[in-house]
């Protein structure tokens, strides 16, 4: 693995406790790892393993109870809410399980959304960046389609374009194929592998072990601790898997 590459994410003994009534729930019990630029990491674990909590930490939506988290060299733990919002805006691209597109809003407007919260972009630059991002996910011909006029796969690709548009340090995908059928899931995986090939850093949180085969590294969580952290010597090609699928029946 290319260890000499820049460290994008660095966790040092991150702990996260939640107070539920009188009990303290330890969702993360000392998690440490580094992710380098250009890695495609899957984070796996059963429900209750601390997967979501870790994702919230990585996404700067939450801060650790103790330990340190550096995103692109910046310590997140002591940041205020508004500072974290800005950090998310500049450094992170989210892809959610249920797409989370704005209703009654066109694809290009949805993709523009993160840049709306960045004053450095003019309206024109914003539009241009959104169009480029949509072209990158193969939706260059669907710019003005509204979210309710698209299929699940298309919506997820719009969501991926939205995650790309701010040129983030890391793309965080949360069960990004969870709502899609097998075929569309593979299409989305093809897209993620393409982005990986282009040098993007991707963290894909999932409970589906199959997906790990298409990533470069796999971290498995259990009970708030890292159980396994392995590099994948034999990355499968999602495009081949897609081609091997039986042809769709309905057409």
Partner 1 sequence: MSFTNLLKIALKAILSNKGRSFLSMLGIIIGVGAVIVMMAIGQGSKQSIREEIQKNGTNMLTIRPGADMRGGVRLDPSAMQTLKQIDYETILAEAKFVNKVSPEVSTSGQAVFGSNNTTSTCYGESPDYLGIRLWEVEEGIFFTEEDVNKSAKVCIIGQTVVKELFPNVDPIGKTIRFKNIPLRVIGVFKGKGYNNWGMDQDNVIVSPYTTVMKRLAAQTHFNSILCSAVTEELSDHAIEDLTEILRRTHKLKDGEEDNFTIRSQQEWMETMSSTMDTITIILVVAAAFSLLVAGIGIMNIMLVSVTERTKEIGLRMSVGARGLDISNQFLIESILISLTGGILGVLFGALLTWGCNAIIGYPAVIPAWSVIVSFAVCVAIGVGFGYFPAQKAARLDPIEAIRYE
Binding site for partner 1 (CB under 8 A): 56, 59, 61-62, 81-82, 85-86, 88-90, 94, 96, 100, 102, 104, 113-114, 116-119, 162, 166
Least distance from partner 1 to the Cβ atom of residue 142, Å: 20
Cβ proximity to partner 1: between 116 and 197 the closer is: 116
Nearest Cα residue to 108 out of 169, 162, 166, 188: 162
Cβ proximity to partner 1: between 35 and 172 the closer is: 172
Cβ proximity to partner 1: between 147 and 218 the closer is: 147
Cα–Cα distance, 113 to 103 (Å, whole number): 13
Least distance from partner 1 to the Cβ atom of residue 220, Å: 23
Cβ proximity to partner 1: between 61 and 236 the closer is: 61
Cα–Cα distance, 169 to 13 (Å, whole number): 22
Least distance from partner 1 to the Cβ atom of residue 70, Å: 19
Task: Give 72's contacts (C-beta < 8 A, 6+ positions apart).
Answer: 8, 91, 169
Least distance from partner 1 to the Cβ atom of residue 85, Å: 4
Cβ proximity to partner 1: between 10 and 90 the closer is: 90
Cα–Cα distance, 68 to 65 (Å, whole number): 9
Cβ proximity to partner 1: between 99 and 214 the closer is: 99
DSSP-derived 3-state class of residue 74:
strand
Cα–Cα distance, 181 to 134 (Å, whole number): 22
How crowded is residue 84: how many other Cβ atoms within 10 Å of its Cβ?
18
Helix axes 152-164, 123-136, angle to 10 degrees: 130
Least distance from partner 1 to the Cβ atom of residue 104, Å: 6
How crowded is residue 222: how many other Cβ atoms within 10 Å of its Cβ?
15
Cα–Cα distance, 122 to 125 (Å, whole number): 5
Least distance from partner 1 to the Cβ atom of residue 248, Å: 30
């Amino acid at each position: 693995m290319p260890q000499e590459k820049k460290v994008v994410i660095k966790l040092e003994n991150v702990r996260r406790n939640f107070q539920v009534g009188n009990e303290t729930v330890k969702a993360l019990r000392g998690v440490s790892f580094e992710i380098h630029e250009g890695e495609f990491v899957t984070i796996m674990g059963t429900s209750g393993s601390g997967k979501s909590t870790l994702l919230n930490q990585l996404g700067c939506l939450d801060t650790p109870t103790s330990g340190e988290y550096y995103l692109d060299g910046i310590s997140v733990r002591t940041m205020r809410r508004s500072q974290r919002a800005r950090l998310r805006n500049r450094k992170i691209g989210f892809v959610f399980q249920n797409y989370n597109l704005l209703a009654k809003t066109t694809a290009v407007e949805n993709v523009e959304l993160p840049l709306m919260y960045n004053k450095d972009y003019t309206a024109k630059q914003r539009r241009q960046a959104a169009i480029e991002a949509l072209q990158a996910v193969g939706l260059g011909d669907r710019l003005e389609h509204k979210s309710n006029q698209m299929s699940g796969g298309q919506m997820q690709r719009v969501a991926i374009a939205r995650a790309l548009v701010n040129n983030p340090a890391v793309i965080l995908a949360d069960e990004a194929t969870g709502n899609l059928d097998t075929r569309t899931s593979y299409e989305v995986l093809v897209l993620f592998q393409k982005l990986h090939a282009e040098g993007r850093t991707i963290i894909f949180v999932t409970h589906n072990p199959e997906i790990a085969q298409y990533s470069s590294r796999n971290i498995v969580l259990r009970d708030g601790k890292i159980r396994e952290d392995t590099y994948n010597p034999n990355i499968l090609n999602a495009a081949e898997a897609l081609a091997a699928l039986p042809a769709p029946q309905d057409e």
